Structure 1
Amino acid sequence: MRISVVLPAKNEAGGLPRTLERLREVLPEAEVIVVDDGSTDQTASLAAALGARVLTSPYSMGNGAAIKRGARVASGDVIVFMDADGQHDPADACRLLEKLGEGYDMVVGARNWEGQAGVSRGLANTFYNWLASRMTGFQVKDLTSGFRAVRADRFREFLHLLPNGFSYPTTSTMAFLRSAYAVAYVSIPVARRIGTSHIRPIKDGIRFLLIIFKIATLYSPLKLFVPMALAFFLLGLGYYAYTFTAYGRFTNMSMLLFSASVIIFLIGLISEQITGLTYLAAKGEESRRP
């Protein structure tokens, strides 16, 4: 089994040498690819000097864009994605690969509470995990972890879905789960990063939520539309009970809320049919490939 390791890096000259040296110790035969996302320090030259294959960008395109560029050129059957900032211990990659060998398509390194970057980030990630679990029907233990091992052919199926920013872990996890690809989690320790985080909590947090809903709509629309339709129906029913009790009549607002619930439900049904047809077409196209 050929292994490629992809490390997106932006101004990670401080932690990158230690990460690459440790990688060579634990995975000496692996192809190591460092994707320099428009760094202004010595990230690219240090990576090249330490024997990594370096892909450089003249400007910053985003973490997700770096992941996509690395995945396209990786020659391994399995790709390990990990951060270049020193947070991830390359030795844990062996644990992910061992779990992957049990028949999984993706294995994610799950951080515990101590591994979260502050209380606010920990609470946000806990909420993301709960919401993703609700959407997919699978216990998501760490939706935003960037440390994962994947089967390369499976991962490349979803490259067109991955955003260029800081949410490729969210999108890829949701896509794998909704496409019935086996996903597992392995608990890992996380060290304090070397350098400055490039994540913007509020802006990227909102983006994470939008991506969760986008993927849920793409793969399981009714799980999103049915609760919304039910909420409008119950709201209309409650308002009708109030107006009938207080004024003895049925109001236009109640009719509007009931109509909205029916419309939302029908949109969900149509979306479900479109998703099913799209999935069947994709499978048909895949079966026709030589």
Structure 2
Amino acid sequence: MSVIISALNESAVIGSLVARIRELYPDFEIIVVNDGSEDETARVALEAGAFVYSHPYTIGNGAAVKSGIRIASGEILVLMDGDGQHRPEDIPRLLQYLPEFDMVVGARCRCQQTNWWRAAGNRVFNCLASYVTRFEVQDLTSGFRAVKSETAKDFLNLLPNTYSYPTTITLAALHSGRSLKYEPINVLKRRTGKSGIRCVEDGIRFLLILMKVCTLFAPLRVFLPTSIAMFLTGLGCNLWTFLTAGRFNNMGALFLTTSVLIFMLGLISEQISQMRFDRSARP
């Protein structure tokens, strides 16, 4: 069993977090990936009993998790944030469903979101992901999860270097037919510092990444509604001008033609996506 903790300038809390995990689960491998911290995060984690792997400079939260997955030796990986919000006492609640499930995610309730805009944004992202995967996604961005090592390493090349790695690994697991389970958890408030996530900049960037990931895994679920919307717009436009002026118009024809092109692009993207995953699947 390996616990992977990504940390950036968390010297105030990382020591107590590692010590608590070591106290509760002395047989676990604890890996702290220091993502180019400018404080004493690496030293404090090492003294607390963790194996520390350091990036020479800050690459990203997702990159830190990927480094931890590469060097972990356990068959089950527990992914946690290094800010002290995840409770080590909740780890058995995730592990109880393994190996029956391939991945178990700690789902936060909406009342525990620190900001209303973040709660609203996560709600939108959860709904979009649920539509794409046809599975009820309860917490798309949770960084607290337990996953089989084989499953995590299968999708390692797809994970981004940023905060959106939970989104990618969740959609990848569901798209490939892996089983996923959500377990309600309570998270703690940050004791020091503040989140590095910015509302507008990271929100827009995360939405673009989510759309890109959705298009990667289930492109027709994205292209088809767009095509239908364009088709209905063109049909309505032509119907209106035919009833009022007895003719069709160029704008309606443009919408109808565009809807066909988008639909065909969706079909091609669906085939490319399927071939990509067929080639990357293990024998």
1:130 alignment counterpart: 127
2:52 alignment counterpart: 54
1:148 to 145, 149, 160: 145
Residue identity in the other structure for 1:154? T
1:29 to 24, 27, 30: 27
1:159 alignment counterpart: 156
- Any idea what SS the aligned residue of 1:226 has? helix
- Any idea what SS the aligned residue of 1:82 has? strand
1:189 alignment counterpart: 186
Aligned partners of 1:163 and 1:278: how far apart in 2? 18
- Following superposition, the deviation at residue 200 of structure 1 comes to 1.6
- Following superposition, the deviation at residue 157 of structure 1 comes to 1.1
Normalising by structure 2, we get a TM-score of 0.97
Residue identity in the other structure for 1:107? V
1:88 alignment counterpart: 86
| CA deviation map 1:46-65 (0-9, x unaligned) | 00111100011221101001
2:228 to 203, 227, 230: 230
1:139 to 128, 136, 140: 136
1:199 alignment counterpart: 197
| CA deviation map 1:13-63 (0-9, x unaligned) | 111122112111222111101111111111010001111000112211010
- Any idea what SS the aligned residue of 2:81 has? coil
1:279 to 268, 277, 280: 277
Residue identity in the other structure for 2:171? M
User: Structure 2, unaligned stretches of length 5 or more?
Assistant: none
- Any idea what SS the aligned residue of 1:94 has? helix
- Any idea what SS the aligned residue of 1:109 has? strand
* 1:215 partnered with 2:213: yes
2:37 alignment counterpart: 39
2:102 alignment counterpart: 105
Aligned partners of 1:171 and 1:200: how far apart in 2? 20
Aligned partners of 2:25 and 2:167: how far apart in 1? 26
Contact map agreement 1:47 1:54 (CA 8 A) in 2: yes
CA RMSD of aligned residues (A): 1.1
Contact map agreement 2:16 2:48 (CA 8 A) in 1: no
Aligned partners of 2:181 and 2:202: how far apart in 1? 25
Greater than 3 Å deviation, 4+ residue runs: none
Aligned partners of 1:162 and 1:206: how far apart in 2? 18
2:3 alignment counterpart: 5
- Following superposition, the deviation at residue 66 of structure 1 comes to 0.4
Aligned partners of 1:175 and 1:281: how far apart in 2? 15
- Following superposition, the deviation at residue 180 of structure 1 comes to 0.7
Aligned partners of 1:180 and 1:207: how far apart in 2? 27
Residue identity in the other structure for 2:272? I
Contact map agreement 2:19 2:49 (CA 8 A) in 1: no
Aligned partners of 1:201 and 1:159: how far apart in 2? 27
- Following superposition, the deviation at residue 244 of structure 1 comes to 1.4
Contact map agreement 1:166 1:204 (CA 8 A) in 2: no
Aligned partners of 2:273 and 2:223: how far apart in 1? 14
- Following superposition, the deviation at residue 282 of structure 1 comes to 2.6
2:68 to 44, 47, 70: 70
- Any idea what SS the aligned residue of 1:99 has? coil
Contact map agreement 1:72 1:156 (CA 8 A) in 2: yes
